[in-house]
Structure 1
Amino acid sequence: MEYHITSLADHPAHAAGVAERIYRLWGRLIHADTGMSASDFTEVIRSRAVTHRVPLTLIALAGDELVGTVSLKEDEPTTAENLSPWIGGLLVDDSWRGKGLGQALLAAAEAAAARLGYASLYLSCEPDVEHFYGRSGWALVRRTHSCGDEVALMTKRLTGRVPEASSGAD
């Protein structure tokens, strides 16, 4: 079966599924960073069902089945301040791994950020998946700690103009 990547704004009924998957995987970090419960986080994801601004969420569907997701978010203050926007919540269902879906979701998020006029993106990841992002042109900025875990802070330069509101963030 084929998949397609689209905005959560086009399929808002999938917001709860996106939130559940992300919170199941990273709920400990989300709670440590923000104090949010799973239900609070579901509301955050619902607010990302937009296409015209960050934060936003993209989803991958196989038919009508949710099989992956990625978000653009404004910040990640526990990792680094004054950088924006960030890739967050990139995940692919186990049965879809190894089929290029993660790279496709990442590319779609990069394209969305460029369309919105951002010149750079940031992310943090566990060091053991740093190579995944490196294959797509992401560069290590530094290793740091976030919520008690070691992470790799990475960046990627995009094509596009820098919006006035974030011109000092690069």
Structure 2
Amino acid sequence: MCDSPTVAVHLLADRPDLVVPVARLRWQEWGTEPGRQDLRWWIDVTGSEAGRTAPHVAFVAVSEADEAVGAVSIAPADLPERPALSPWVVGMIVQADRRGSGIGGALMSALQQWAAVSGISRLWVATGGPAVEFYRRCGWTVAEVLDRDNGEQATILTVRPGEPTRS
């Protein structure tokens, strides 16, 4: 089961003042990817995710100092190689110096609870590296390891929101 830190998790739609800080966290992590080097791109994408209903839903973790320290969103599609799978967890980020403190688990818990209440029967994520173990600790199972057309490898994991997670 995921650990829970001392943060508050909100719909990003309820905290529009945090769209730019969340976008900045994502840009700092992934802003070197081709076509995504401009902070404005991240602000636009993050803002478009800040809705209240699928597929435009994002959650933000807020510290006691009222700053964005993490975020996660869902999207209708992520991997062109798997168009039938939906919805996808995307943009999962925790401030670098706060990783391992349970913030990611709190975000995933909020997202999965929201998905269960919203009638979403399955969520998907494509990731790699240490993130695979993070998702497994949060109750996700590996569905496939995909050799992508661009030469990268992605581990696809899935979870059924609302089902009990294993410890």
TM-score normalised by L of structure 1: 0.81
- Aligned residue number for residue 107 of structure 2: 105
- Aligned residue number for residue 167 of structure 1: none
Distance in 2 separating the partners of 1:56 and 1:105: 12
Aligned residue among 7, 18, 26 for 2:22: 18
Question: Are the counterparts in 1 of residues 73 and 92 from structure 2 also a CA contact under 8 Å?
Answer: yes
- Aligned residue number for residue 48 of structure 1: 49
Distance in 1 separating the partners of 2:34 and 2:135: 22
Task: Describe the shift of the 1:29–1:107 C-alpha distance in structure 2 as closer, same or farther (beyond 3 A).
Answer: farther
SS at match of 2:69: strand
| 1:57 maps onto 2:58 in alignment | yes
| 1:115-154 correspondence to structure 2 within 5 Å | 115-146=117-148, 147-154=150-157
RMSD, aligned CA: 2.3
Higher relative contact order (CA 8 A, sep 6+): 2
Distance in 1 separating the partners of 2:34 and 2:105: 24
Task: Describe the shift of the 1:77–1:94 C-alpha distance in structure 2 as closer, same or farther (beyond 3 A).
Answer: closer
What is the one-letter code of the residue matched to 2:74?
A: L
Residues 64-113 of structure 1: per-residue CA shift (max 9 Å, x gap): 11111111111113452121111111111123222211111111111121
Task: Describe the shift of the 1:27–1:106 C-alpha distance in structure 2 as closer, same or farther (beyond 3 A).
Answer: same
What is the one-letter code of the residue matched to 2:20?
A: A
Distance in 2 separating the partners of 1:79 and 1:92: 27
Task: Describe the shift of the 1:79–1:100 C-alpha distance in structure 2 as closer, same or farther (beyond 3 A).
Answer: farther
> How high is the sequence identity, in percent, across the aligned residues?
27
Question: Are the counterparts in 2 of residues 69 and 90 from structure 1 also a CA contact under 8 Å?
Answer: yes
SS at match of 1:82: coil
Specify which structure has the higher proportion of helix: 1
Distance in 1 separating the partners of 2:113 and 2:81: 24
Structure 2 unaligned regions, length at least 5: none
TM-score normalised by L of structure 2: 0.82
- Aligned residue number for residue 93 of structure 1: 95
